[in-house]
Chains A and B, each alone.
Chain A
Amino acid sequence: MAITETRPETVTEHVNPWDTGEIYPSFAQTIGSGDHKTLGRLYVGLALIFGVAAWALTALSSANGVPDDGFLPDDAVFQVYTSGRVTLVLLAVLPLLIGLATYVVPLQVGASTVAFPRAAAAALWTWLVGAVMILAGYATNGGPGGGGRNAVDLTYLGMAAAIVALLLATVCVLTTIVTLRTPGMSLDRVPLFSWSMFVGGSLWMLTLPGLLANLTLVYLDHHYGLPSDFGMADGQWPQLSWAFGQPQVFAYAIPVLGVIGDLVTTMAGTRQRRRGLVLVGTGLLGVLSFGVYAQPFFNEQVREQALYVGTGVLVLLPLLLCFSAWATTMSVRPRITAASIAGLGAALGLLAGGLASALFVIEPLRLQETSAFADGLLVLVVGSTALGGLAGLLFWAPKIWGRFAGEGAGKLAALAGIGGVFLGGLPLCVLGFATRFDALADAEAALLAVAALGGVLLLLATVLTAVALLTARRGDTVAADAWGTGQTLEWLAPSPPPPGNFGQLPVVSSPEPLLDSAETEEAA
């Protein structure tokens, strides 16, 4: 008993495995790493690859409607449609933002690591296994409503694994923001991207478990011979579709507000004016985008209820609050870079998505009778989110890779992305009015062709961003504050940061600590 009654005098000192100084093969270093920078890079790389597949599937789904009888086999049309959405959200956009956050957030809050680095690594690899299961399931006639029984089950297990992994990664990022902030950095002083991840990640924690619950019911019912209606072929997707519709899609876009905010202040070289509006706007978008209750499969009247209609219209308000604050900040002439063009495109796309949301919930417009308008809304919002993620990559490229991304390829990517968001989303929104205007129904093929072109442009934007990042490896190495006007702590660390990220950090006394120190030096 003596051993247990007394606390051991010597407690084993915890040593991060990547800090031991031992030399492992680079492959082992990568797959065994718990370093947030390595994990962030892996998320980003894989999300770009899956992003190409997602936009290809989305474009294919629209293009199939152009010829009278389509070119896809009848039994594959719906699978291509759903796989585009699942891949876009679970394998491309969310992982891209989580990857960016895993890399950037610890640097922004002045932490030496992400919270729970082993859990963050486990999340990445679990998500990748889930992604492979999803794609393998779809490739073998699975997915919602698919014909292969085992393949359908495999798809759902993969989706569940991916969601659990993304939630685990989100917990790591959220805990970093809450607990690992450097002294003096109160929650209202965190950089805008970290704040937006705090709001967005909290929303994901409260809504994605709902999708997991839906998946559990669909899987169990389907696996055990359909004793209920949860697993029926034509009922599976309607139970899951809330996660890809209004208002839930805005929950995925929240971190983009932070990307744009940090981008605007850095490119304008001035403090964020009316910063409180951006913080409140981001938080308000979080409240309004809580979408787990909006499940028409279980509550047919939900789209007629005041809560759904009200949040659908009000979603414009936080976007406008943020826009007004950015506009006043941008009155100082900002630098025009690939990142700022992409950020501007993402902001305009989100605004268009907010307008589409306000129209969608107005019942007399009958936009909910077909899926076209909802599909357009999805492309506008999720496309803008993807474009915002690409803007973040171009903006933080010097910090992540130590070199600026190729500006030419980056600008082309930004322009392709802007074109893709609007060409991919607006024609589908217009097609949604076909229930009221017969002439629009006659133009269906043309509108779908333009929407497919939009999907191709978004695919191209993803590829061009990857090219811009790959060409970054050839450029000159950059200083810690690569843009010269950085305001937040990530621009204090070397580019790319070494293990441990920082040396001794000063106590933070405002949201823009780098500007504080520059002003203090000038005054001295």
Chain B
Amino acid sequence: MAALARALPAPPVQRPRVLMIGTAFATAGTLMYFVTLLAVYLERRAEALASGDVWLPEGVEVPLTQPNVMLFTLIASAVTIQWAVWAISRDDRLNTYLSLGLTIVFGVAFINMASYLYTIMQFDIGANPQSVLVYAITGGHLVMLVVAMIFTGLMAFRALGGQQSSRQHDGISAAALFWHANVVVFAVIWYAIYVTK
């Protein structure tokens, strides 16, 4: 009996998932921010098209290659952060660090590609009405990504410090929730702004 008891894993810690719930509320608020911005964008775009105008001003090129790469980068990062949740719930610490590190690298790669996209779009923020909306939405998403990266990095350090384990991995799960929301927001931006133009 004693041997059986030793073989069984310790039960999960019964404690409220404070960070997870707090992050869920914050994520809901963040999503509403983008819902409002995208609603204004789509409404303005529909208005312009209905009146027979084109939406994007002349001279502005919005390529699809870079946004595609950015989307796939974020989808890959969604996989890696879920990998981190899977790994920490099995106390696989090496895979946890590797996956969290990769997630942050993907985030940096996304920012790098976004800044390159801004340079080739030639979309001067002060030159036309559309640019204000495009920069508000895409810039807002970049801010959300930076927050998600800081959150994930902080949880990575907590994991290094031993505060995350299979018995308690609320922090990494919460960071993953916010990261997934960030990916969803970009997927909508990708379709609404870069694909439909």
A interface with B by C-beta (< 8 Å): 1, 4-12, 115-116, 119, 167-168, 170-172, 174-175, 178-180, 202, 205-210, 212-214, 216-217, 220-221, 224-225, 227-230, 292, 298-299
Contacts and interface: CB of A to CB of B under 8 A. Distances in A.
A11 B163 contact: yes
Interface stretch (B19-27, B63-71, B78-86): B19-27
Contact of B22 (A175, A213, A225): A175
B126 A209 contact: no
Instruction: Name the prevailing secondary structure of the B interface residues.
Output: helix
B136 A209 contact: no
Given A205-B28, A213-B40, A216-B140, A115 B132 contact: no
Contacts of B135: 220
Interface residues of B, number: 40
A-B pairs, top 10 by smallest CB distance, nearest first, are A8-B162, A228-B129, A179-B16, A213-B36, A209-B33, A210-B36, A209-B32, A175-B22, A224-B126, A205-B29
A217 B140 CA distance: 11
A168 B22 CA distance: 9
B21 A179 contact: yes
B162 A1 contact: no
Contacts of B140: 216
A205 B25 contact: yes
A172 B22 contact: yes
A227 B162 CA distance: 51
B22 A217 contact: no
Interface stretch (B90-98, B103-111, B177-185, B188-196): B90-98
B21 A213 contact: no
Interface in B42-77: 43
Of A1, A175, A210, A299, chain B has the most CB atoms within 10 Å of the CB of A175
Contact of A171 (B26, B36, B161, B162): B26
A216 B30 CA distance: 13
B126 A180 contact: no
Contacts of B102: none
6 contacts: A8-B161, A11-B163, A119-B22, A217-B136, A224-B125, A224-B126
Nearest to A207: B32
Nearest to B135: A220
B18 interface: yes
Contact of A206 (B18, B21, B32, B37): B32
B160 interface: yes
A6 B21 contact: no
Contacts of B35: 210
Contact of A299 (B18, B29, B43, B131): B43
Of B21, B127, B133, chain A has the most CB atoms within 10 Å of the CB of B21
Nearest to A205: B29
A74 to B, nearest CB: 30
Nearest to A230: B132
A67 to B, nearest CB: 40
Given A206-B29, A213-B33, A180 B132 contact: no
A214 B133 CA distance: 11
B128 interface: yes
A171 B128 contact: no
Contacts of B132: 217, 220-221, 224, 227-228, 230
Contact of B36 (A1, A175, A214, A220): A214
B162 A7 contact: yes
Contacts of B129: 227-229
